[in-house]
Chain A
Amino acid sequence: MAEKLLQPPDMIEKILSSLPGAILIINQDRQVEYANPLAEQHFGSEGARLVGSLVDNVLPLTESRWNLLMGEVKAFTAEAGKRQPDGEFEVQKRVYQYRLFPVNGRDSEEQQTGIVIWEITEQKQLQDRLIQAEKLASLGSLVSGMAHEINNPVHGILGMAEIIVEEKDPERIKEYATDIVGFAKHVATVVSDMALYIRPATHDREVEIDLGERLGEALKMVRRNPRFGHVEVVTEFQPVPRLRARRTEIDQVFVNLISNAVQAMDGKGRLTLATRHQGNTITAQVSDTGCGIPKALLNKIFDPFFTTKDPGKGTGLGLSIAYNIVGKYGGTIRVESEEGRGATFTIQFQAGNH
């Protein structure tokens, strides 16, 4: 029996080889000191071993992202606790999630850093499909807004064209034709806004985005809904550093939050959109003066399929998707609300998330 037991070094090696995650250990110069077989399999190339290479050449993370992560790892005191993964990256169409952890050698002064990486391609594809499904499901209310926004200028185009047909004065014809050009351009803008919103996020690359600008664009989209009614809009946009993210995903978060706020106010009240920058934190906020959320429901609202709306009025996925999207960029979303006293959703990201 005793002979069959593996000796500790072998056992460790066997565990590391069998782990369902890839493990890399890097030194302070960011050189790979150890790679388990799965790491070699996913990130190594034939003829060149990972050990000895610079980790920057192995994993596609930017210099600023590495610096940020390494700083965090240094400050991290290895206490066992729930920590979100540090991020995601893509290699050859496969998506990986990774997390860094400090490795403190017993007899070595030098601190090493471990990176555990696991593949999430399938979850990712499912999540992307879910996000897209929710976007399409919530499209109903946006489409009726789009009908208004398109039918108005189309009426202008038709009306002015019919007038031109009978008009003889060249000056007037010119004026009316100019009106038509303006109306047609407006239709084009509405259609392209909507097409961009509906575009699956997977077709989108991460770009530098301004949260105030995106809140403004999301507002434009929701405003087209006839149910927007007499809601008064207050914007308090302070300049904030740009965030690296997929534009369509951030738009989906903001459209969801603003749509909920407008529904909660039933056409009357005040919608406040704000952005702030304090220290390293970027904040975006959506507040309403609507019906609020009962205390008992506050911890459920981010759960998938949880909804208080009538059947057919909501998928129950909007906030859960917002939560996932924000989390994906290392951000947090929280809500403060009292029944009958409106609700405030606060989203925070760390500046330089890339």
Chain B
Amino acid sequence: MGFHTHYAVSGRQGRVLVVDDESSIRKPVKLTLTKAGYEVVEAQDGEQAIKVLNSDDNPLMVDTILCDIQMPKINGIDAIAYFRTQYPTVPVVVMTGYPDVDLAVTLMKQGVRDYLVKPVSKEKLLTAISEAVDNHVILAGQFVA
């Protein structure tokens, strides 16, 4: 399988995959991003996120993945490693409850765009997502060209 070139869908701000096992996180994030014009797809853990992206006949195109770390089944660290190899152009933003500097450095080295520690304000979230989506649009443009 080659690189997926997930470009922003025209007419919208972009599509964001929100991966978090807690509905107390997914609900406000979805509401905030939807209000700001993004389309939001949700997954409860790493395994579901990979399934969502990987459905064979109709692979889902997303512009940014917002991912928690501590989750059941496939956790954020394993899921991010997978996203980075299978979908290297899709920016990943981590949003976690653990302020862990070592982990943040490791993940940034793996190409994670941003490392947000909960609680994340609306402004901070929208800035991080908008930067990531813009970056993806630029990258996707390069690949299409």
A contact residues vs B (CB 8 Å cutoff):
144, 147-160, 162-163, 166, 179, 182-183, 186, 226, 229-230
Min CB distance, A163 to chain B, in Å? Answer: 5
Q: How far is the CA of A229 from the CA of B72 in the complex (A)?
A: 7
Number of A-B contacts (CB under 8 A): 75
Q: Contact string, B111-122, partner A, CB cutoff 8 A, digits 1/0?
A: 000000111111
Q: Does B94 contact A (CB under 8 A)?
A: no
State which of A148, A155, A162, A166 has its C-beta within 8 Å of the C-beta of B24.
A155
Q: How far is the CA of A179 from the CA of B24 in the complex (A)?
A: 8
- Let me know if B27 and A230 touch, CB within 8 A: no
- Let me know if A152 and B25 touch, CB within 8 A: yes
CB neighbours (8 Å) of A150 from chain B are 97
| Given A156-B27, A160-B27, also A144-B32 (CB < 8 A) | no
| Given A157-B119, A162-B122, also A148-B97 (CB < 8 A) | yes
- Let me know if B99 and A159 touch, CB within 8 A: no
- Let me know if B72 and A151 touch, CB within 8 A: no
Min CB distance, A180 to chain B, in Å? Answer: 10
- Let me know if B118 and A179 touch, CB within 8 A: no
CB neighbours (8 Å) of A147 from chain B are 97-99
CB neighbours (8 Å) of A152 from chain B are 22, 24-25, 97, 118
- Let me know if B70 and A159 touch, CB within 8 A: no
- Let me know if A226 and B69 touch, CB within 8 A: yes
Min CB distance, A174 to chain B, in Å? Answer: 15
| Given A148-B98, A162-B32, A163-B32, also A179-B27 (CB < 8 A) | yes
- Let me know if B98 and A155 touch, CB within 8 A: no
Q: Does B29 contact A (CB under 8 A)?
A: yes
CB neighbours (8 Å) of B51 from chain A are none
- Let me know if A156 and B97 touch, CB within 8 A: no
Identify which of B31, B72, B100, B118 gathers the most chain A CB atoms within 10 Å of its CB: B118
CB neighbours (8 Å) of B75 from chain A are 229-230
Q: How far is the CA of A148 from the CA of B28 in the complex (A)?
A: 17
| Given A148-B70, A226-B70, A230-B72, also A155-B27 (CB < 8 A) | no
Cβ-closest chain A residue relative to B117? A151
Min CB distance, B94 to chain A, in Å? Answer: 13
| Given A148-B70, A157-B119, A159-B32, also A226-B98 (CB < 8 A) | yes
CB neighbours (8 Å) of A230 from chain B are 72-73, 75
- Let me know if A162 and B121 touch, CB within 8 A: yes
Within 8 A of A (CB), among B110-145: 117-122
- Let me know if A144 and B25 touch, CB within 8 A: no
Q: How far is the CA of A149 from the CA of B25 in the complex (A)?
A: 12
Q: How far is the CA of A144 from the CA of B117 in the complex (A)?
A: 13
CB neighbours (8 Å) of B119 from chain A are 151, 154-155, 157-159
- Let me know if A156 and B98 touch, CB within 8 A: no
CB neighbours (8 Å) of A179 from chain B are 24, 27
Q: How far is the CA of A224 from the CA of B28 in the complex (A)?
A: 22
Q: How far is the CA of A121 from the CA of B100 in the complex (A)?
A: 43
Q: How far is the CA of A162 from the CA of B121 in the complex (A)?
A: 8
Q: How far is the CA of A154 from the CA of B24 in the complex (A)?
A: 9
Q: Contact string, B13-35, partner A, CB cutoff 8 A, digits 1/0?
A: 00000000010110111011001
Identify which of B69, B73, B96 gathers the most chain A CB atoms within 10 Å of its CB: B96
CB neighbours (8 Å) of A163 from chain B are 28, 31-32, 35, 122
Task: Identify the 3 closest CB pairs spanning chains A and B, nearest first.
Answer: A159-B28, A156-B24, A148-B97
Q: How far is the CA of A150 from the CA of B118 in the complex (A)?
A: 9
CB neighbours (8 Å) of A162 from chain B are 28, 32, 121-122
12 other A-B residue contacts (CB within 8 Å) besides A154-B118, A159-B119: A147-B97, A151-B98, A152-B25, A155-B25, A155-B97, A155-B118, A156-B24, A158-B120, A159-B32, A163-B28, A163-B31, A230-B75
State which of B27, B32, B97 has its C-beta within 8 Å of the C-beta of A149.
B97
Identify which of A150, A152, A183 gathers the most chain B CB atoms within 10 Å of its CB: A152
Within 8 A of A (CB), among B97-112: 97-100
CB neighbours (8 Å) of B96 from chain A are 148
Name 16 interchain pairs, CB-CB below 8 A, sorted by A: A148-B97, A151-B117, A151-B118, A152-B97, A155-B24, A155-B25, A156-B22, A156-B27, A156-B28, A158-B119, A159-B25, A159-B119, A162-B122, A166-B35, A179-B27, A186-B24
- Let me know if B25 and A156 touch, CB within 8 A: yes
